[in-house]
Chains A and B, each alone.
Chain A
Amino acid sequence: MLKIKDLHANIEDKEILKGINLEIKAGEVHAIMGPNGSGKSTLSAVLAGREEYEVTKGEVDFGGSDILEMSPEDRAREGLFLAFQYPIEIPGVSNINFLKTAINETRAHKGQEAVTAKEFLALVKEKSALVELDAKLASRSVNEGFSGGEKKRNEIFQMAMLEPKLSILDETDSGLDIDALRIVANGVNTLKSKDNATVVITHYQRLLDYIVPDFVHVLYNGKIVKTGGKELALELEEKGYDWIKEEVDAVS
């Protein structure tokens, strides 16, 4: 579904991603862990198409097309979803109205008919219930005045509305209490199928108790330096990142 080959990316002429290789297949859950500043959010932003980042080398194939050539909206329409680490507030833009536009522009892109008002409302009701997001909240301005947890649940609500093929959750667990964490994880697990895939970026093993990964990758200094099964997350939780840093730094 997603193939990243030797991806290098800069911001303001500083190289942040230094050769990422990663392959994700339908039905899989991948976790990406790593110390602060290692490039996890940069990787997700580059995949989502943020213009500030300059890709200097490498390829990213998503479902058979070169994603790096596409606009951010076309990537989303093709089924890529990014739950932002820091969801932004957009005063005056209605959460529901913008999602309706997003869904209809996506449908138009695929040559499908626009969603009817009735269908859309039913969808909102179903999906907001899934992440226990107050329907009133769902229809306010995007994230405006939302608590940290509500912002994260709104991200998963949007993901549920858009039904993406590949979801990247960038530290969706940070700042969540255990109940919110369970709600978010439950939402993600409910949406999981053999046809879609999930990338969970996290610092903490605890999310991975709920969303169980098939693969765990460690991103350090712009590269994936280690890959393992779910037990790698437990090891990291126990030992921290220093041993990995030492391993990597010793080699280079």
Chain B
Amino acid sequence: MTTTELTKKDMLLESLNELDFSNEPQFAQDLRSNAKNALENLEFPTSKTEYWKYTRIGKIINKTYGIQHEASDSNIAITPYLIPELDANIVVLVNGFFRADLSKIENESGLNISSLKDAVNNSNPFVENSLGKIAKAEKELFIALNTLCYTDGVAIEVDKNAVIEKPIHILNITNSDNLISNTRTIVKAEENSSIKIIESFVNLQGNESFTNNVSEFFLNANSNLEYNKIQNKNGESYQISTEQAYQLKDSNFTINTITLQGTLVRNNLNIEVDAEGCETNLNGIYLGEGKNHTDNHTIVDHLKPNCNSNEVYKGILDDNSVGVFNGKVFVRPDAQKTNAFQQNNNILLTDDAVINSKPELEIYADDVKCSHGSTIGQLDDEAIFYLQARGVSKRSAINMMITAFVKDALDRVSIPALKNYIDLKIDSRFN
């Protein structure tokens, strides 16, 4: 026994050691042990880590968490978290585990939704071949942490030519205080297929809980994948969320990140566009209040010619909240005729709210159209007065202005019921 003090990382890993994965097939165990090795070389980010410059994670790592070892059978009323008027396949995860009893899944032809744990234990070929292939443990500590100890999640496979109209709604629930959960989503859209997914993150009770989730999206030729992430955790809550996508020829990937609440939220989006003719849309809205801290880091890597990417992030920051936006677009030497558009607009509702916005373009090709912009402003008092002078209450006027401000960030939400739901959430927030 050495007298060396245990580091924060050791302590976190120690608590996670209690998880037992020894019954898993070899490939899954290999993945975990690889992540364990990767973790040896990765440290928690500090103020000197460029990628984490504006986000301190002390709040998350200076705590001890409990873990849940297996799915419980506690009854949970999920209705309040469903999206009204939405006919969807409902996949419920609670404290890191799939809950078949609460879920409502009808696998239609061409669609296969299953718990990730089951898919792993059954050595599902798609999961075996793809898990961890693009969200690589060596790259980032929180990916490694998730890979080492993810407990469950969702695996979705859409067959060739299958156009799935009915969205999948993953309800990722935390209902314990001081709990760490690592969930994982893996989605593969085969050639010419189409799928829409919503994942909402909520707390039923979950004060000072930490969710570290990772998603991997594989888009084969001419496929369409829309992923809508709704972050709506109340109370003191922490989330680090990584989405990794890989696009092949003529595919269309859309990711909408809507952060309604959350004490500390960090989103890492990494999209590799590795074939011609692709379209990538990454939009987001973040509403900060109190001392919330919301950080969106996105990377779009254009490796091949003739692709478009569009990015619109809108932030509304109230009270003492802090927003961080860092959007990076790489256009590699081969990626001629790339159109990349990026925009981040912010409204600060108080003098104490803060935004750090940094759109970045790194262009190594010469025949491209790229633009980026970032704005910070206040709500237009004159416009609010104009509306009031017609009899509209100040509250409604502010609400109208905010709805107008965020509007184009919602253009790529193609599910009408979801759009209404988001509108209502924003509405009730400012009413």
Contact = CB atoms under 8 A, between A and B. Distances in A.
Interface in A62-106: 71-73, 75-77, 81-82, 84, 87-88, 90-93, 97-99, 101-103, 105-106
B405 interface: yes
Most buried by B among A82, A84, A87, A93: A93
B392 A105 contact: yes
Given A88-B382, A92-B404, A101-B400, A71 B387 contact: no
Contact of A49 (B389, B392, B404): B389
A92 B403 contact: yes
B232 interface: no
A92 B407 contact: yes
A101 B397 CA distance: 9
B396 interface: yes
B401 A50 contact: no
A76 B400 contact: no
B394 interface: yes
Interface string B373-384: 000000010110
B390 interface: yes
Contacts, number: 78
Interface string B19-61: 0000000000000000000000000000000000000000000
A106 B388 CA distance: 11
B364 interface: no
B386 interface: yes
A81 B390 CA distance: 7
B427 to A, nearest CB: 12
Given A50-B385, A88-B383, A88-B386, A93 B400 contact: yes
Nearest to B387: A98
Contacts of B17: none
A202 interface: no
A48 interface: yes
Contacts of A106: 391
Most buried by A among B382, B388, B405: B388
A162 to B, nearest CB: 7
Interface residues of B, number: 20
A139 B328 CA distance: 38
Nearest to A89: B383
A173 B393 CA distance: 29
B394 A76 contact: no
A13 B396 CA distance: 31
Contact of B391 (A90, A91, A105): A105
A117 B382 CA distance: 29
Contacts of B390: 76, 81, 98-99, 102, 158, 162
Contacts of A48: 385, 389
A142 interface: yes
A229 B318 CA distance: 53
Given A72-B385, A101-B400, A105-B396, A92 B405 contact: yes
Interface in A93-137: 93, 97-99, 101-103, 105-106, 109
A84 B386 contact: yes
Given A98-B387, A98-B400, A142-B386, A73 B392 contact: yes
Most buried by A among B387, B390, B392, B393: B390
B346 to A, nearest CB: 16
A101 B401 CA distance: 13
A131 B385 CA distance: 24
B388 A76 contact: yes
A88 B401 CA distance: 13
A76 B386 contact: no
Nearest to A99: B390
A214 B382 CA distance: 32
A100 to B, nearest CB: 10
Contacts of B393: 71, 73, 105
Nearest to B390: A102
A105 B404 CA distance: 20
A76 B383 contact: no
A152 to B, nearest CB: 14
Contacts of A50: 385
Given A88-B383, A90-B383, A93-B400, A72 B405 contact: no
Nearest to A79: B391
Nearest to A77: B391
A105 B392 CA distance: 6
A98 B389 CA distance: 12
A75 B390 CA distance: 9
20 contacts: A49-B388, A49-B389, A50-B385, A76-B390, A77-B391, A82-B389, A84-B386, A87-B386, A88-B380, A88-B382, A90-B380, A90-B386, A90-B401, A92-B401, A92-B404, A93-B404, A105-B393, A105-B396, A142-B386, A158-B390
Interface of B: 380, 382-383, 385-394, 396, 400-401, 403-405, 407
Interface of A: 48-51, 71-73, 75-77, 81-82, 84, 87-88, 90-93, 97-99, 101-103, 105-106, 109, 141-142, 158, 162
9 closest residue pairs by CB, A with B: A92-B404, A76-B391, A72-B388, A102-B391, A102-B390, A106-B391, A73-B388, A90-B383, A77-B391
Given A75-B389, A92-B405, A98-B387, 17 more contacts: A48-B389, A49-B385, A73-B392, A73-B394, A76-B389, A76-B390, A76-B391, A87-B386, A88-B380, A88-B386, A90-B383, A90-B401, A91-B404, A92-B401, A92-B403, A97-B400, A105-B396
